[in-house]
Chain A
Amino acid sequence: MSDDKSKISSLNVLTAGFIRQNPTFSQVLGLCPTLATSTNAENALGMGLATAGVLVLSNIFISMIRKLIPDVIRIPAYISVIASFVTIVNLLMHGYTYQLWTNLGLYIPLIVVNCIIMGRAEAFASKNGILKSFLDGLGMGLGFTGAILLLGITRELFSVGTIFGLRIWPKTYGMFVMMLPPGAFLVIGFYMAFFKHVTNVRKNKKVKG
Chain B
Amino acid sequence: MDAAKLFALLLAAMFVNNFLLSRFLGLCPFFGVSKSMDTAVGMSMGVVFVMLVAGIATWFLNLLLIMWHIEFLQTLAFILVIAALVQLIEIFIKKVNPSLYSALGIYLPLITTNCAILGLALINVQNNFTLMETIFNSVGSAVGYSMALILFSSLRVKLDIEELPAAFEGMPAAFITAFILSMSFMAFTGMIKV
Interface residues of A (CB under 8 A from B): 28-29, 31-33, 35-36, 75-76, 79-80, 83-84, 86-87, 90-91, 106, 109-110, 112-115, 118, 177, 180-186, 188-190, 192-194, 196-197, 200
Q: Looking across the interface, which residue of chain A has its beta carbon closest to that of B189?
A: A180
B 51-89 to A, binary, CB cutoff 8 A, 1 in contact else 0: 000000000000000000000111110011001100000
Residue of A nearest to B164 (CB): A193
A-B contacts, 5 of them at CB < 8 A, read A79-B79, A109-B75, A113-B115, A182-B182, A189-B175
Give the residues in chain A near B186, CB-CB below 8 Å.
Answer: 180-182
**Secondary structure type dominating chain A contacts:** helix
- Tally of contacts, chain A with chain B, CB under 8 A: 115
One of B23, B122, B176 near A185 (C-beta < 8 A)? B176
Closest to A190 in B: B172
Q: A110–B118 contact, CB under 8 A?
A: yes
Q: Which of B26, B76, B119, B170 contacts A106 (CB 8 A)?
A: B119
**Does B25 interact with chain A (Cβ within 8 Å)?**
yes
One digit per residue, 1 when the CB lies within 8 angstroms of any chain A CB and 0 when it does not, for chain B 150-194 equals 000000000000000011111111111011101100100000000
- A106 with B79: CB separation less than 8 A: no
Residue from the list A84, A118, A184 in contact with B76, Cβ < 8 A: A84
Does B131 make an interface contact (CB < 8 A)?
no
Given contacts A181-B186, A182-B183, contact A109 B178 (CB under 8 A): no
The reply to whether A32 and B167 form a contact with Cβ atoms under 8 Å apart is no
Chain B nearest Cβ from A121, distance in angstroms? 12
Contact of A80 among B76, B113, B122, B168 (CB under 8 A): B76
Top-5 shortest CB links A-B: A189-B175, A193-B172, A197-B167, A36-B24, A185-B179
Contact partners of A31 in chain B: CB under 8 A: 24, 27-28, 31
